[in-house]
Amino acid sequence: MSFETISVVGLGYIGLPTAAMFASRKKKVIGVDVNQDAVDTINRGEIHIVEPDLDMLVSAAVQQGYLKAVTTPEPADAFLIAVPTPFLPIEDVNDIPRPDLSYIESAAKAIAPVLKKGDLVILESTSPVGATEQMADWLSEKRPDLSFPQTHAENADVNIAHCPERVLPGHVVTELVQNDRVIGGMSKRCSERSVDLYKTFVMGECVITNARTAEMAKLTENSSRDVQIAFANELSMICDELDIDVWELISLANRHPRVNILQPGPGVGGHCIAVDPWFIASKTPKLAKLIKSAREVNDMKPEWVVKKIREMVSQYLNDNPDKNEHEIVIGCYGLSFKPDIDDLRESPALEITKMLSNKHLGKVLAIEPNISQVAFDDFELVSMEQSLSITDIHVLLVDHSQFRKVKVTDKYIVDTKGIWS
Ligand code: SAJ
C-alpha cells in the first residue's frame, strides 16, 4: 500500500523539516500542531524556528499546495509523531528525572479517531524503552475496532514502528536526507513499510531492528556523547588543579591512533544530550552508574566555572587594591548552548551568566552575536566592541566563529573553550 497522504504530528525542530521534506518529494502532507500561531505561520509559508534552508523548503511546499498545517488531525496513510518528551517535575533533588510521555499520549489519542485499516504510525520522538509499545496500547484502547501489532503481529490492521530522529541542529536539512535511519518496527511488516515511507527522501541506509532496540539506540548515541564530554570536562577540572593546559593535553593524547577525546566546555546544553541519558538512568537506576555520573559531572560544570570567575575577581582585586568589586565589569562571551546558533535551551552559558549576575556586585555584560531581539532581566546585552573597551574580566563561554576571529590577550580571562587562553 503506498503513502499518498502523510501526517506529521508536532511541527517543531524535527517535525517541520520532516514534513517539508516529504512535501518536497510531492507527497501531500498534513502537519498537525496544538500551537495555533505555529500553524498560521506555516500556512503563510513562513517558519517559527531557526534552521538553515528550512524557510525555502516550507515556503515552496506551502505555495505548491503540498503542505498544510492544522490543529486537529485529519485522515492520512501514515502518521509520524514528533512531539517533545520532557522530564516530569522532580520532587526531591536526589530523584532521577523521569520522562513525561503525556505529549505522546495526547498525540496518540488525537490521531486515534481518524485511523483506518492499512495505516502506519511511526513514533519519532526520543523515547524511553517501552514507549512505542505503550503508544500502541493507547491507540488500541481508543480503537477496539482495529487490530494492532501487539496482538496481531504481521496481520495487524495498523502498523507501528519507532524511528528516532538523529539530525544535528543547524544541519537538519542535509542530515535528514543523508543520515542512516534506525527503523524499529513492532513486526517485520511494520519495519518494511516504514522503510518504504522513509525511502521517499532518505538516501542513507534504513537499518531494520525492533522497537525497543531502536528506542535504546537513540538514547545510547546521546548518552555515549554525554559520557565522552563528561570525561573531557572532568579532565579540565583535574588539569586546572594540577596546573596543566587541558587543551594541549587533549591534543597530545589524541595523537595516539586509538584515542579521540572530545572538548571540554562550560557544561552540556541543548534539549537532547542533557536530557536523554536520564531516560536510561531512570529505567535502570542501579545499573546506569556511569551514565548517571556523567550527567552529574556535566551538570555541575557551570557552578565550577562560576567559582573560577569568582577566583579571578579576587585576583583582580588583589592586583588592583584601589578598586572595589562594584567597579569590576565582567563580560560573558556567548549565551547559546553551542557555537553559531541562537538556541538558548538548557544553555550552560546562559546559566553561568545568570548565576554570575546574582553573585557579582559589579556589572555583568553579555555578548551574543546570534541574538538581537531578546531582552534579559539579569544582565545587559552589548556588542563585542563595546565589551572589549569596558570589560575588566573576559569570560569566554561559547566558541562562536566571531569570537575565534578575535584574539583577546588580556591578563584577566576565563576561557572555557580554549580559544583565547
Ligand atoms: N559539547 C561539548 N564538547 C564537545 C561537543 C559538544 O562540550 O566536544 C557540548 C555542546 O557545546 C553542547 C552539547 O555538548 O552544549 C551538545 O551539543 P552536540 O553538538 O554534541 O549535540 P546536539 O545536542 O546539538 O545534537 C545531538 C546529536 N547527537 C549526537 O551527536 C550523538 C544529534 O545527532 C542528535 O540528533 C541530537 O542530539 C538529538 O536530537 O538527539
Mean pLDDT by 10 residues, the chain (421 residues): 93 96 98 98 93 95 98 98 91 86 98 98 97 98 98 97 93 97 98 98 98 98 98 98 98 98 97 94 96 97 98 97 97 95 92 96 95 84 94 97 92 96 78
What sign does the dihedral 122-123-128-133 (CA atoms) show?
negative
Homologous superfamily, domain 302-415: NAD(P)-binding Rossmann-like Domain (3.40.50.720)
Contact 184, 161 (CB under 8 A): yes
Phi and psi at 51, nearest 5°, equal: -160, 120
Q: How many CA atoms lie within 13 A of 140 on its CB side?
A: 17
How many Å lie between the centroid of ligand 1 and the Cα of residue 227?
12
Residue 367 Cα, ligand 1 centroid: separation in angstroms?
Answer: 22
Alpha helices (runs of H) in 15-157, residue ranges in sequence order: 15-24, 36-43, 54-63, 102-111, 131-142, 149-152
302-415 shares the fold of 5-212: yes
Report which DSSP code applies to 99.
B
Cβ–ligand 1 contact at 104 (below 6 Å): no
Q: Whole-angstrom Cα distance, residue 33 to residue 49? A: 14
Write down the pTM of the prediction. Answer: 0.94
Domain ranges of the chain: 5-212, 302-415
Q: State the distance from the centre of ligand 1 to the C-alpha of 418, rounded, in angstroms.
A: 18
Ligand 1 and 105: CB distance under 6 A? no
Pick the CATH number of 5-212 from 3.30.450.40, 3.40.50.720, 1.10.10.10, 3.30.2350.10: 3.40.50.720
